[in-house]
Structure 1
């Protein structure tokens, strides 16, 4: 079956791309024996197909980059390496940060930024730091009574929405948040309306307090707005996902705590406003789970050392 899909993928069959991507999301190891063939056929997209690449394939990708290639292929080869997250890939991306390969200066982002799009980064000390967790749980929506004294958005006066209320003392939550280093209660509150236009930051503590960050900058294109009621639903922990790749920004039931984000547009991890390092990814709340006609997705981020949380949004 996979061999047939690869033949169709090489011919740019869209359905084959979707089916192979689904395999990469549910059981990426099934593709491992076929990745050398994909590379031979110059199938370089989507890069998630290479998640379970072994050392020989990773080494070939690095050699191809070091040997010089087109700008088009360089972009895709960087992405492939990032999604393998292999130790050789970490070493190569670290090296290219200071000694970029030919053509890299023409790309829009540095080599390390490709790693961030795949859920990890190279820290200031040169070591790999995971931005996403390896454990994920479905988020199930629950009706929540609206607080009478709920704080309001300074920009549009809408009551703020608690996009997440978590406690790491709960074993499943602690496992999903382990990569963040967070210990205690975590409440991420945002404006459900204004966060659709810009990333909104809040300052959070392990006691569960959350405060609008005064450094949030209102975009000029937001214009005048009227207060809107936030969603009456909030996520609670559901069953475990079978792997970290099963969040969905498109389908009902796709909201997920932990794991990897399902970006609707380009991957856009949030940067901490305190130290400018990439923030850790917490989870995704899909619009399809909030409303019968909902679309888009809210992406939740956290940087424990600086005490910042963030909510960003994407839609098609």
Structure 2
């Protein structure tokens, strides 16, 4: 079965490639023996295909990069190595961050910046820090009453939207938030309109406090609205555990997810904490399809040590 899918993907069958990607997300070891064929055929995208890359394949890629034989493919190969679980891959990216390989001058970011695409970063102490949870849960939208007074966006005057209201005392929530170190109630409030134009931050406290961050920077291109708009009258409840942390969907109804890995519509965009500048932990996404928007997704971030949450938005 796997061999047939690989042959079809090499021949350009996008359905086969999509099926292989789903296998790589859930059971990466099943593809390990076939990855060299994909590499030889130039099938380098999506890089999640190479999650199960073993030491031999990683060393082969690293040798090609060091020897200058891959200067025209560095972008894709750095992404592949960022997703690979073999420790040789991380060591190579760290080395190339300090001593860039041939061709790296054509790239816009350093080698370790590619780690964000794979959901990790290097902490200030030099250790690896995972930005995403290893488990994920469905988020099921429930209708709630519309806003009746309360805080409003200082830019467009629309009522602030409570995107999530989570109790870390619940086992499933505690599991999805474990990588963040958060304890207590977590409520994230934002402007559903202005968040579509820039990442918006709020200060959060373990008693459920969520306050607009005065340091949010209003972009010059933010349009003037004729009148405020009510936010979605929806609040997600945590549902069943997903089979894989990669099953969030920014496109499909039912794709809203707590924990796991983001389904980026564009490039990875882990928000930086406005307090310390470190990348924030990823919490989950609320898809536009679940809000009757049709497309687009709101991505949720948290940096517990500084008490900041953030909401960013992407669309095609």
Query: What residue number does 1:174 align with?
Result: 174
**1:1-316 to 2 correspondences below 5 Å:** 1-225=1-225, 226-291=227-292, 293-316=293-316
Structure 2 distance, partners of 1:279, 1:44, is 28
TM-score, with length taken from structure 1: 0.95
TM-score, with length taken from structure 2: 0.95
CA contact 1:186–1:204 (8 Å) conserved in 2: yes
Partner of 1:25, secondary structure, is: helix
| CA shift digits 1:31-74 (9 cap, x unpaired) | 12211222233322211101122222222222222121344311
Structure 2 distance, partners of 1:158, 1:85, is 44
| CA shift digits 1:188-235 (9 cap, x unpaired) | 111011101111011111121111111111111112113111001111
Structure 1 distance, partners of 2:27, 2:98, is 35
Structure 2 distance, partners of 1:42, 1:285, is 34
Paired residues, number: 315
| CA shift digits 1:101-145 (9 cap, x unpaired) | 122122011111100111001112221100001010000001112
Structure 2 distance, partners of 1:37, 1:117, is 23
Structure 2 distance, partners of 1:278, 1:242, is 27
Unaligned runs of 5+ in 1: none
Report the alpha carbon displacement of residue 153 of structure 1 after superposing the two structures with TM. 0.4
Structure 1 distance, partners of 2:253, 2:232, is 16
